[in-house]
Chain A
Amino acid sequence: MNSFSAIPEATHEIKRFEHGEALTTCRFSPDGRYVFAGAEDLAVHRWDVSTGTTTTLEGHESWVRRIDFSVDGSQLLTAGWDGQIGFWETDGENPQPHHMLQAHRGFARWVHASPDGKSIATCGNDLRVRTWKLKNYKMTADMGGHDRHPYAVMYHPDGDHLASEDLMGWIHIWDTRRRRIASKIHADIMTGYDNKFAADMGGARDMEFHPDGSRFACAGISNVVNSFAGQQDPLAILVDWNTKQIECHLEAKDKATGVMWGVSFHPNGFVACGIAKQNGSGTIEFFKVDKESIDSARVEQTTEKTNDEQPSSETSDKTDEDSSESKPAAPTLKSYFSVAVDKCVRGMDFSPDGKQIAIACSDGTLRILEMNKKAETESESDKKSEG
């Protein structure tokens, strides 16, 4: 099980790279050599993890908030708020975009490469979900259905379906062959209306499928109180692919206010989420998401609810029919371990070997954390020997 030698409880920072502007997102390259990050400038930044060498990739006219790679890892894909998708060589001394695709009118929110390596999916503020041939950048599907801005779209590992989530928490499952919506899921827990400011807030800030396709995760917010001040709860959901039901909600074990900007499945079975807190700090939360943990949370939640309600037969108006119709709420899983970060975490990614996490922080630092015990320094080793 521990083929990836990852121990969340041992997570510690091993490297920190500085950039002048706040970072917006980050991804390890498939070979683990680089980490790419978007920033509050118009560039994408590449760090060589071992040497710390920085390279700036210029080509967008706006911020980049989503980075992906072609399946073979040779191409870097970037989605910019200029509506463009950038195609770059991942390696190379001074990568230039070999193509900038005007994919959306408005802002391109997301890009994801298909599992067969032939296509990409994008979504943008023109409310469209689109697929494109990677070979010639030709549009192969142009699908409408979201009434509000779709924030993220991901290919299912089968390659024939997409999942996208919009501002209002509507998740659309798309059949890419028929180019239409196959089903819809309303994750209404992930959106809220701010009464005071008369505006909606919600949607997926990150999204990822489990590699086996059995479930996917969406990260964002919940319980909108005053979103204009950043007052809402960070939350992720897991959705069962077969039933299209929300399996569970993921929340930080310690009450937090802010936004969950990252969610990722680790090969060892746990899920990690990156949080930017309202107070300017952050955390990485680790969750056990196996069936036993979810069932246990459900039982606990049901017990708590029963104890809280304790309706007497005289006062309850519910009929048997009502009860049978009411859908059980998805249980909430609390993280079992949390790593504190002194700045907001705006993006995170596991290294391909599963041993490290890269996090993009609001102070412009890219940090590499290792999920393993600290290597003993020579002096520490000597002391032990002497002892």
Chain B
Amino acid sequence: MASHRNQGCNVLDHRMSRRNFVMGASAAAGFGPLLTPAMAKQAKGQQKQILQVYLQGGVSQFESWDCKPGTKYGGPFREIQTTVPGMKICELLPYTAQKMHLLSIIRSINLKTNDHGVGRLFMEKGRTVGDYPYIGSVASRYLKNANDPLPGYIHISTRGLTDNTAAFLEAQHGQMKLEGVAPPENLLPRTGIPESVLTKSEQFRLQLNKQFGTGRSKSLIDSYDASFDQASQLMARKHLFESQPEKDLNRYGHHPFGQNCLLARRLLEEGVTCVKVTHHGYDTHAENFNFHIEQLDEFDKTFATLLGDIEDRGMLDNVLVMVYSEFGRTPKINNKYGRDHWGASCSIALGGAGIQPGAIIGATNADGTEVSDREVDGGHLFHTYMQAVGINSTSDHDIPGRSVPIGDPAASAIEELLA
């Protein structure tokens, strides 16, 4: 796909006409070289969005998307039939199995790393090294309607690292981190303070901002301002944080992941471009099987409910859904009934916008120790995500004076997965 760069012939143009591809509302806002006016017109009102469900720590491919029952490293679990003939997944995912006609599986990922940090960056940035933006930040930059006051990239998690996800993109495209369903900290005005004082306080903030901006790049200051405004706008939708409908919670689950996924759906409904939900607890060096029973039991019904809701609302054509980890887990079961880090043969599931559903891409060998067919890595996945939502990942970032490819030129999209 590297050869597609700077050829004047926009691959996305072809793809648009071929598949009647539609773009996000961001097209209307006009993000320069990435979108043609025709595409923008076509895309208006149908904003592409992304839902990332990150299974932090490295979910076991054997216990999820690539079962090997009865084999040397297969573990104790059986596989079950899904709604796609011939597609089987682990019995720990019975609810998700009933939604697999909406998703596809990639079973042939070789990340060539067993390191949490490197694996995570590869899966988020499509590169293992270098200062590049995360999927959510890229989506925010190129898919978000410039007039939309909400943040473009919200990450709901109960903990985790605070990364500079925007890299060289404007700061407002960095992730806004929400600690569960709690509202962002320090944004609510203090109670009991008169309106007049609050107004003066805001004026003072703007004055300081102006002073700070003297001699600094306007775009940088605008970017910080935009971030602040986005957070404020999010808080203007306080109902998202004040309470969650009991009826919905009963379906999603009252546990934190259930609450977080329900919030994710509501944020997507509000138009947030990329919502990422992290589910913790998959780094199972010990008791891999008991922990996967516990964690996937929590994940399965909640995720299937969320996916079903997105479909029922007619949003799935425009929402790319990703379920992924920073790597998989070792075939070999250690003496603590654990599986360790394994990036050489792992799997993800994805579906929705721009993705052909019901497909299985690639394969691992009989024991699951290595990829046997259609090997891909984080670079290929990144291109695939981007192109699924209509971003030409083979072009450069829209950064004046710089030529930075959006996706790694050494990799390309998994074409057969793109709808």
Q: Which residues of B contact A231 (CB under 8 A)?
A: 286
A41 to B12, CA, bound (A): 49
A52 to B175, CA, bound (A): 62
Known: A197-B281, A230-B285. A62 touches B77 (CB 8 A): yes
Q: Which residues of B contact A199 (CB under 8 A)?
A: 280-281, 291, 294-295
A336: CB under 8 A from chain B?
A: no
A255 to B70, CA, bound (A): 37
Select one of A21, A107, A167, A227 contacting B286, CB under 8 A: A227
Q: Are B335 and A344 in contact (CB under 8 A)?
A: yes
Q: Are A228 and B283 in contact (CB under 8 A)?
A: yes
A1: CB under 8 A from chain B?
A: no
Q: Are B281 and A22 in contact (CB under 8 A)?
A: no
Q: Are B335 and A227 in contact (CB under 8 A)?
A: no
Question: Chain B's nearest CB lies how many Å from the CB of A209?
Answer: 24
A40: CB under 8 A from chain B?
A: yes
Q: Which residues of B contact A21 (CB under 8 A)?
A: 72
Within 8 A of A (CB), among B151-209: 158-159
Q: Which residues of A contact B77 (CB under 8 A)?
A: 62, 81
Known: A62-B76, A199-B291. A42 touches B336 (CB 8 A): no
Chain A's closest residue to B56 (CB) is A197
Select one of B76, B256, B286, B294 contacting A229, CB under 8 A: B286
A228 to B295, CA, bound (A): 12
Q: Are B336 and A276 in contact (CB under 8 A)?
A: yes
Please indicate which of the listed interface residues A81, A167, A194, A276 has the most CB atoms of chain B within 10 Å of its own CB: A81
A278: CB under 8 A from chain B?
A: yes
B78: CB under 8 A from chain A?
A: yes
Q: Which residues of A contact B158 (CB under 8 A)?
A: 198
A208: CB under 8 A from chain B?
A: no
Q: Are A200 and B294 in contact (CB under 8 A)?
A: yes
Q: Which residues of B contact A40 (CB under 8 A)?
A: 75-76, 333
Q: Are B57 and A362 in contact (CB under 8 A)?
A: no
Can you list, as one digit per residue, whether each of B371-414 has a CB less than 8 Å from chain A (1) or not (0)? 00000000000000000000000000000000000000000000
Q: Are A22 and B338 in contact (CB under 8 A)?
A: no
Q: Is the interface of A mostly helix, strand, loop or mixed?
A: loop
B221: CB under 8 A from chain A?
A: no
Q: Which residues of B contact A196 (CB under 8 A)?
A: 159, 280
A231 to B69, CA, bound (A): 29
Q: Which residues of B contact A45 (CB under 8 A)?
A: none
Can you list, as one digit per residue, whether each of B277-303 has a CB less than 8 Å from chain A (1) or not (0)? 000110111110111011100000000
Question: Chain B's nearest CB lies how many Å from the CB of A375?
Answer: 32
Interface residues in B, total, Cβ within 8 A: 28
Within 8 A of A (CB), among B34-68: 57
A259 to B333, CA, bound (A): 16
A63: CB under 8 A from chain B?
A: yes
Q: Which residues of A contact B159 (CB under 8 A)?
A: 196
Q: Which residues of B contact A197 (CB under 8 A)?
A: 57, 280-281, 283, 291
A81 to B284, CA, bound (A): 19
Chain A's closest residue to B286 (CB) is A230
Chain A's closest residue to B91 (CB) is A106
Question: Chain A's nearest CB lies how many Å from the CB of B413?
Answer: 34
Can you list, as one digit per residue, whether each of B329-362 has a CB less than 8 Å from chain A (1) or not (0)? 0000101101000000000000000000000000
Known: A82-B78, A199-B295. A230 touches B338 (CB 8 A): yes
Q: Which residues of B contact A228 (CB under 8 A)?
A: 57, 281, 283-287, 291, 338
Known: A197-B57, A228-B286. A22 touches B335 (CB 8 A): yes
Q: Are B293 and A125 in contact (CB under 8 A)?
A: yes
Please indicate which of the listed interface residues B57, B256, B335, B338 has the most CB atoms of chain A within 10 Å of its own CB: B335
Please indicate which of the listed interface residues A22, A197, A362 has the most CB atoms of chain B within 10 Å of its own CB: A197
Q: Are A280 and B333 in contact (CB under 8 A)?
A: no
A276 to B284, CA, bound (A): 17
A343 to B72, CA, bound (A): 20
Interface residues in A, total, Cβ within 8 A: 34
Q: Which residues of B contact A107 (CB under 8 A)?
A: 76, 293
Q: Which residues of A contact B285 (CB under 8 A)?
A: 228-230
Q: Are A42 and B70 in contact (CB under 8 A)?
A: yes
A231 to B68, CA, bound (A): 28
Q: Which residues of B contact A358 (CB under 8 A)?
A: none
Q: Which residues of A contact B291 (CB under 8 A)?
A: 197, 199, 201, 227-228
Chain A's closest residue to B257 (CB) is A198
Q: Are A362 and B335 in contact (CB under 8 A)?
A: yes
Q: Which residues of A contact B335 (CB under 8 A)?
A: 22, 276, 280, 343-344, 362-363
A210: CB under 8 A from chain B?
A: no
A61 to B79, CA, bound (A): 11
Question: Chain B's nearest CB lies how many Å from the CB of A16?
Answer: 17
Known: A81-B76, A199-B281, A200-B294. A227 touches B333 (CB 8 A): no
Known: A197-B281, A197-B283, A198-B281. A230 touches B336 (CB 8 A): yes
Q: Are A149 and B293 in contact (CB under 8 A)?
A: yes
Q: Are A63 and B294 in contact (CB under 8 A)?
A: no
Q: Are B78 and A230 in contact (CB under 8 A)?
A: no
A82 to B77, CA, bound (A): 8
Known: A227-B286, A230-B287. A198 touches B333 (CB 8 A): no
A228 to B72, CA, bound (A): 23
Question: Chain B's nearest CB lies how many Å from the CB of A277?
Answer: 9
Q: Which residues of B contact A276 (CB under 8 A)?
A: 335-336
Known: A198-B158, A200-B294, A230-B338. A63 touches B284 (CB 8 A): no
A21 to B286, CA, bound (A): 17
Question: Chain B's nearest CB lies how many Å from the CB of A366?
Answer: 15
A349 to B87, CA, bound (A): 42
A228 to B336, CA, bound (A): 10
A220 to B90, CA, bound (A): 27
Q: Are A198 and B280 in contact (CB under 8 A)?
A: yes
Question: Chain A's nearest CB lies how many Å from the CB of B266?
Answer: 22
| Ranked 7 nearest A-B pairs via Cβ | A230-B286, A362-B335, A63-B76, A197-B281, A230-B336, A81-B76, A62-B76
Interface residues of A (CB under 8 A from B): 21-22, 40, 42, 61-63, 81-82, 107, 125, 149, 167, 194, 196-201, 227-231, 258-259, 276, 278, 280, 343-344, 362-363
Interface residues of B (CB under 8 A from A): 57, 69-70, 72, 75-78, 158-159, 256, 280-281, 283-287, 289-291, 293-295, 333, 335-336, 338
**Beyond known contacts A62-B78, A107-B293: 18 more, CB 8 A cutoff:** A40-B75, A40-B76, A40-B333, A42-B70, A61-B69, A61-B78, A63-B75, A82-B78, A149-B293, A197-B283, A198-B158, A198-B281, A228-B291, A229-B285, A229-B286, A230-B286, A276-B336, A344-B335
